[in-house]
Structure 1
Amino acid sequence: MNESTVRLALLIMAVLGLVVGLAIWSAGQGPVQPTTIWAIATLPVVIMLVVSILRDFLIGRMGVDAIALVSMSAGLLLGQPLAAIVVAIMYAGGTVLEDFARGRAERSLQALVDRAPRIAHKKSTTGTETISADQVAIGDELLVRAGELLPVDGILIDPSALLDESAVTGEPLPVRRIASDPLHSGTVNAGETFSMRASATVGESTYAAIMRMVTAAQTAKAPFIRIADRLALLLLPLTLLVAALAWYLSNDPIRALAVLVVATPCPLILAAPVAFIGGVSRAAHVGILMKGSTALEALARIRTAIFDKTGTLTTGGAELIEIDLAPHQRADELLRLLASLEQASHHVLASSIVQLARRKGLVLCQPHQVREHRGEGLEGQVDGTTVSAGSRPLVLADKPLPYWAQDGEERHRDAAVLRVFLALNGELVGIFTFADTLRADVPDTLVALRTCGVNRIMLLTGDDDTAANKVAASLGLDATISKATPADKVRTVEVEKRAAPTMMIGDGINDAPALAAADVGIALASRGGTISSEAADVVILTDRVQPVAEALLIAKHTRTIALQSITVGLALSGAAMIFAALGMITPVAGALLQEGIDVAVILNALRTLGGTDVSASRQKRAIKAAEPQPR
């Protein structure tokens, strides 16, 4: 029998003892006196409390449960068994309420663990076999049927797949993935059956990392919670002192008993852990994983935010920002020809071009007679047309730019962009300009951070001065440090920490040391980033930066509710002690009053599970980048 069942059984026994005793008392006669029944029904709760206090004492803990023991014992010794059993019911009821509150706060996190992938369908030369998820090896080709969980992280093999990623990223709508896109374990196939190639074992996949963080969230103890424990410990001698003074000044031991009864905030100090577990659960719902309540509390105090650039403030890839077209040419047709040719290339830009064409629904052809010039571009035959794509020297040689391309060349002369020149049968027909663009949700995110009390936001990047200063100027950042090595990043974080609580936000391996050095490290892990995720205190699973502001808001909301529950509960208990010492509250009435206080603060702590009042600017999702306009 587990402890929760024992506590519920003790509550039922105490309630039955009270009811039976009251029935005998109202009838005026019975085989036993009602006071005897009340005393007997109180004893099991007293015994359980003694065992609990001794167990806590042996591991170096002491709390306000001792006040409950003293008040019940005093009630029995002073001939007030009715007051004693009411306190017993209130205490046992508080422990049952405690179990309920913890269970509700942890349910969302536990649901993630309960739905962990357990099987996989592995393809082989003999067909498809069903195996345990932990038997999947890197490189295995897997079949994922409609409605099934993805067992491990992997790469999509088929042209496209529709995935429900809500349990992992918090995104409510299914997301379309295309060939070569990374896939996360724990997401659900919301479309037709597809094939994928495993890129990680089950223990190294996204869902396993989530479960490790859930475990940390349920076991870690925040400094704020430890402060609440110390407050509880201070309440014990204070209560005994007030009770002794009340007895001494009034010469009435019943007043002392009333003081002890109203000072029994059994689940009161539980409000802090319930609030913090609720905050961690709330964050998990929107794709933000907190590594325990310690991370959440530290996040609530942040005053300085340091951002990496590439992959954090920017998309981290080559995005098509502009197409310069020759007269009478169509952008989609040129993109189709370019992407068809790039299928044969291993250049870092090639996959971006191919994926862009597929997202537009363009039908690509197989290129022939392809010849690649390393670092310059490639040429080949597509649909019987000779296609050349790459740098200006490769495509144009010494020829001058035509008039329609001159404005674009001048505009991007000193910009950090990649320009792909495209020629058909030796004639230049288009120029595609790619750049690492700013994430669409970054401006709103920075506004939200400042609204949440972050008064210093800076950029810390390994990129050159030109690229860093351009981003910083467009966002109005407070400071910019460029050409930073991982060691430089750590030193910068240490300097900022001495001035104010600091968080570092990044996504790459080179950010990991700085993430670990910060008061709070936040990793953007939607594209992998295992090392940075392990080093961080908070992990964001969505491919957006806006959850950084959401995480800060949730942390502040949670800490406010926890502090509110503790201070208001203790203040009400203190006021009740004064009234009891003055003889205005009887022991029985005091027990009922204290339970009302306890229930109120616990229910208030559970508010962290709900949403927060977030302004529209904080709630905005990343806006899809505008389609590049032909010039």
Structure 2
Amino acid sequence: MGTAWNRRNALLAWVALGLAIGTALALTDRALAARIVWSAAALPVALHVGLAAAQALAGGRVGVDVIALAAILGAAALDEAAAAAVVALMVAGGEALEDWAQGRAKRSLTALAARAPRRAARLAEGTVEEIDAAAIRPGDTLLVRPGETVPADGTLADAEAVLDESALTGEPLPRRLRTGAELRSGAVNAGAAFRMRATASAEASTYAAIVRLAEQAAASRAPLTRLADRFAVVFIAATAVVSGLAWVFSGDPVRALAVLVVATPCPLILAAPIALVAGVGRAAARGIVVKGAGVIERLARIRIVLFDKTGTLTPGRPRLAAIETVPGLRREAALRLAAALAQGSTHPVSAALVAAARERGLAVPAPEAAAETAGGGLSGHVDGQAVLLGSEGFLRERGLAPPETLAIAASLAVAGSVAWLAVGGRVVAAFVMADGLRPEVRRTVRRLRALGVERIGLVTGDRGEAAAPVAAVLRLDAVHAGVSPAGKIAAVHEERARGTVAMVGDGVNDAPALAAADVGIAMGAHGTAAAAEAADAVLLVDRVDRAAEAMAIARRSRAIAIQAIVLGMALSGIAMGFAAFGHLPPLIGALVQEAIDVAAILFALTALRPGRDDVAPAPLPDEAGLADRVAEHAGLRRLAERLREGAEAVGDGPESLRALATLEADLRAELLPHQAEEEQALYPAAARRLGGRDPMGPLIRMHAEIEALCRRLASLLHLAEQQDGWNGASAELRRTLFALEALLTLHLAAEEEALAELASEAR
């Protein structure tokens, strides 16, 4: 590349100098000397073009370079040396402009390699040792100073670090991380110095893999370039016909020369690949590494998208979805016992139970004599009671069966798995676990539909009972459940019969399907190296909506490439008509064609800018309080659970009034102020960002309904506390509590989805 670039620039300098000297000689009435200088300037370019045309022909391609060659040689033969020099300048300048444009388009990719860490500071026996990044080994303690790049993957050893990950993810705002957080190489320290423990060598770390992917992306030739070559064959034939007819009907070979001059070099061979490479650069700036312009071209034609489930549509971490208990046992009491025993295991379900208990502020005691049965469950003692926690099979092996009162838990098993709790030889609770959808998934599916994707499906190794609810919520068109890696390949081939297929996945078991699809897209932030290597595009941000963004970028880039081809050919065709009728002499025609080339290439570079559909709303300012309001949602969800418990407790009679009064007071103290804060600061700021007449209207209407139900609850409690008032109020009290719980749960979900794009993490 460097040698070719130097040769092209040397040719450009030679032609420009010769044209300038020849022009000066012509202005001093030394016409013969001027023609000699102009011809001398043009002939080396003709030789360069001739060799390139011969190489292309040997490779089975015919390019419009042959028109440029004919124009230069024809101009020299017809004593139009000035036109020959201008055409030569046009060719050399076009190649130099192409180099500049591709460099501009690839800037985001080359910037990745330029920022690769070269040195690192290793802490050893209390001293700081400067080493090459290549010398980093797993287990090394490294010091990352302000402004330095994290040299290898690792974990944070200090209390806090502030990292700028914009080069990796496109996120403009720094992230604040705590002790033990995972660090990825390539991020820049935007705060104070911190220590980290390397978990991989620099070569095996995230940033090195990204650089390798970027190098692959920078060295490809797009299929659309071959499409441009096919256009070139048609264009050459049309040029030959028009120039021949112009000569025949006018009897003047200069007119034929003028047609050749305005027809070359056709901007389609420059503009089309530049637009696609610009798409690669645009994607890289958004944290999407696309392995070449050819992938951009294929991605733009995708009609079917298949998603893996675990780790792609879902975070891959189970969470507590519901708790069912026998009468007389409160849900929080059951969770406290389960979480206590779960502390003796590292299983994801155990971790989810412990996390749920901590979120609720429960004091979890330490278990005694905890023992784990692999693949089954846990046994031990908590508060002096014998406790079992595990699958239904684990409990049945010990002679315990869930009672009929917990049948609801079994029916909810489609949401995920169920962990059963037994205390004192009796099954008392069921914990329904679910791997919830990523918050951006619904919006991703809607955007894919808007982009013209005709079919969206799910391909997963999970059982059909777990996959069906996901497909139903997302309104997917196909579900391939319970399939092996080979089965995923078969699913891809089956869907390919309907159109071009993209596969999105993250795990080792997804790698074969990613390779089999027309375009494989890997979740690279936390996915496996095997998936990233097999895929055609890698999402460096742990957000599945970047897959839809990659498709939007690809479609816009391909559209611009085709528009640039049409623009260049149309303008050249018009100019050829003027030249054929004698209205454009060769010299003026050469200048016109140069302007056409520049216009087409600059138009192709617009693919670097975000399109109308690519621009997400700017994140809200801190004073809007979005982060604080979302953080309060965890407490409000617990409040919704208490509403359900309160409704169930109504059946206990007037004894539940005290707990219900406490619940109503908490609604006034927590929920209503939360809604008032949202309407005062958050919603107005969000409305300005989202646009439209009243984007927050539905959420405000929900607020009003929730407030009305809270007032109704207070009135009913007041009535129930009166003498003989319980019998008249209890049924309506129960309905009001259930209605309030349902509306509050729905409102929290709707609000989070509506505001998801306005959070800084979404950028």
| TM-score, normalised by the number of residues in structure 2 | 0.72
More deviation in 37-46 or 243-252?
37-46
Contact 1:509–1:532 (Cα < 8 Å) also in 2: yes
Q: What's the counterpart of residue 130 of structure 2? A: 130
The answer for the alignment partner of 2:37 in structure 1 is 37
> Which stretches in structure 1 are left out of the alignment for 5+ residues?
none
Name the CA shift for 1:357/1:156 in 2 (closer, same or farther; >3 Å): farther
Contact 1:339–1:364 under 8 Å retained in 2 = no
8 Å Cα contact 1:120/1:131 also seen in 2: yes
Q: Displacement of 1:275 after TM fit?
A: 0.8
1:543 lines up with 2:533 in the alignment: no
User: Cα gap change, 1:158/1:346 in structure 2, threshold over 3 Å: closer, same or farther?
Assistant: farther
TM-fit CA distance, 1:550: 0.4
Q: CA deviation at 1:449?
A: 0.5
Does residue 1:7 correspond to 2:33, yes or no?
Answer: no
CA 6–508 in structure 1, closer or farther in 2 if over 3 Å, else same: closer
Q: Report the counterpart of residue 564 of structure 1 in structure 2.
A: 563
Amino acid at match of 1:459: L
* 1:507-546 mapped onto 2 (5 Å cutoff): 507-546=506-545
1:459 counterpart SS class: strand
2:253 matched to which residue of 1? 253
Aligned residue in 1 for 2:104: 104
What is the distance in 2 between the residues matched to 1:145 and 1:387? 52
- Determine if contact 1:417/1:436 at 8 Å carries over to the other structure: no
Q: 1:23 to 1:474 in 2, by over 3 A?
A: same
- What are the equivalent positions in structure 2 for 1:429-578 lying under 5 Å apart? 434-578=433-577
- The equivalent of 2:667 in structure 1 is none
Distance 1:618 1:190, change over 3 A: closer
What corresponds to 1:608 in structure 2?
A: 607
Return the offset for 1:33: 4.1
Q: How does 1:185-200 map to 2 (within 5 A)?
A: 185-200=185-200
Partners of 1:533 and 1:539 within 8 A in 2: yes
Cα separation, partners in 2 of 1:349 and 1:207, compared to 1, 3 Å? same
Kept after mapping to 2: 8 A contact 1:213/1:292: no
Of stretches 463-472 and 1-10 in structure 1, the one that deviates more from structure 2 is 1-10
**What residue number does 1:69 align with?**
69
Rounded to whole Å, the distance in 1 between the matches of 2:89 and 2:615 is 46
Distance 1:578 1:422, change over 3 A: farther
Deviations, residues 436-468 of structure 1 (Å, cap 9, x unaligned):
001111111111101111111111211112211
Taking a change above 3 Å as real, the CA distance of residues 365 and 119 of structure 1, as seen in their structure-2 partners, is farther
Query: Does the CA contact (< 8 Å) of 2:338 and 2:389 recur in 1?
Result: no
CA deviation map 1:373-407 (0-9, x unaligned): 445347689xx999989559999x99999xxx989
Rounded to whole Å, the distance in 2 between the matches of 1:129 and 1:494 is: 54
Deviations 1:278-318 (A, max 9, x none): 10111111111111112111111111111111111111102
Native 8 Å contact 1:524 1:539 kept in 2: yes
C-alpha distance in structure 2 between counterparts of 1:159 and 1:422, whole Å = 40
The more displaced of 296-305 and 616-625 is 616-625
**1:143 match:** 143
Q: Is the 8 A contact 2:367 2:380 kept in 1?
A: no
Write the distance in 1 (CA, Å) between the matches of 2:33 and 2:200.
70
In structure 2, what is the equivalent of residue 416 of structure 1? 416
Shift in alpha-carbon separation, 1:270–1:376, aligned structure 2, 3 A:
same
Distance in 2 of aligned mates of 1:213 and 1:244: 49
Matched letter for residue 102 of structure 1: Q
* Separation in structure 2 between the aligned mates of residue 315 and residue 307 of structure 1, nearest angstrom: 13
Over the matched positions of the two proteins, sequence identity in percent amounts to 44
2:317 corresponds to: 317
Code of the aligned partner of 1:561: I
* Amino acid across the alignment from 2:377: E
Bigger share in helix:
2
Q: Deviations over 1:91-142 (max 9, x none)?
A: 2221221121111111111000000122233344464433222222334343
CA contact (8 A) 1:337 1:387 kept: no
Aligned residues of 1:10 and 1:45 also touching (Cα < 8 A): yes
SS in 2 for 1:503: strand
2:158–2:196 CA contact under 8 A, matched in 1: yes
Residues 303 and 501, structure 1, Cα contact 8 Å, conserved in 2: yes
Distance 1:125 1:37, change over 3 A: closer
Could you tell which deviates more after superposition, 453-462 or 565-574? 565-574
Q: Give the distance between the partners of 1:475 and 1:412, measured in 2 at CA.
A: 19
Q: Aligned pair count?
A: 622
- Seen in structure 2, the aligned counterparts of structure 1 residues 284 and 351 have a Cα distance that, compared at 3 Å, is farther
1:307 aligns with 2:316: no
Q: How far apart, CA to CA, are the structure 1 residues paired with 2:163 and 2:322?
A: 30
How far apart are 1:49 and its partner, in Å?
Answer: 3.2
Deviation at residue 535 of structure 1 after TM alignment: 1.2
> What residue identity is the alignment partner of 2:9?
L
Contact kept in structure 2, 1:448 and 1:617, CA below 8 Å: no
**1:410: Cα distance to partner?**
8.4
- CA 1:618 to 1:465, structure 2 compared with 1: closer, same or farther past 3 Å? farther
Instruction: Report the residue type matching 1:114 in the other structure.
Output: A
Aligned to 1:208: 208
Greater shift in the superposed pair: 386-395 or 124-133: 386-395
Worse-superposed segment, 29-38 or 221-230: 29-38
Secondary structure, aligned partner of 2:269: coil
Other-structure match for 1:88: 88
Moved more, 221-230 or 343-352: 343-352
C-alpha contact 1:341 1:380 (8 A) present in aligned 2: yes
Deviations 1:489-537 (A, max 9, x none): 1111111112211111111111111111111111112213111111111
1:321-336 correspondence runs (5 A): 321=321
Deviations 1:55-108 (A, max 9, x none): 555655542222212211111111111222222222222122112111111111
- Residues 147 and 153 of structure 1: CA distance in aligned 2, closer, same or farther (over 3 Å): same
Q: Which whole-Å CA distance do the structure 1 matches of 2:136 and 2:365 have between them?
A: 33
| 2: CA distance, partners of 1:571 / 1:474 | 48
What residue ranges of structure 2 are gaps of 5+ in the alignment? 621-625, 643-763
Q: Distance in 2 between matches of 1:299 and 1:313?
A: 20
1:264 corresponds to 2:264? yes
Q: Higher mean Cα deviation, 39-48 or 81-90?
A: 39-48
Say if 1:362 and 1:161 are closer, same or farther in 2 by CA, change over 3 A.
farther
- Contact kept in structure 1, 2:440 and 2:544, CA below 8 Å: yes
The answer to whether the aligner puts 1:595 opposite 2:591 as a matched pair is no
Does structure 1 conserve the Cα–Cα contact (< 8 Å) formed by 2:307 and 2:505?
A: yes
Q: Is the CA contact 2:342–2:378 (under 8 Å) kept in the aligned structure 1?
A: no
Q: CA deviation at 1:570?
A: 1.5
Structure number with greater Rg is 2
Please state if 1:219 is matched with 2:219: yes
* Cα distance in 2, alignment partners of residues 354 and 121 from structure 1: 38
Q: Deviations over 1:135-167 (max 9, x none)?
A: 223343433333322222234444554322221
Change (3 A) 1:307 1:357: same
The answer to whether 1:292 aligns with 2:310 is: no
**Which amino acid in structure 2 is aligned with residue 148 of structure 1?**
E
**In the alignment, what sits opposite 2:737?**
none
Q: Would the alpha carbon gap of residues 361 and 543 (structure 1) be closer, same or farther in structure 2, given more than 3 Å must change?
A: farther
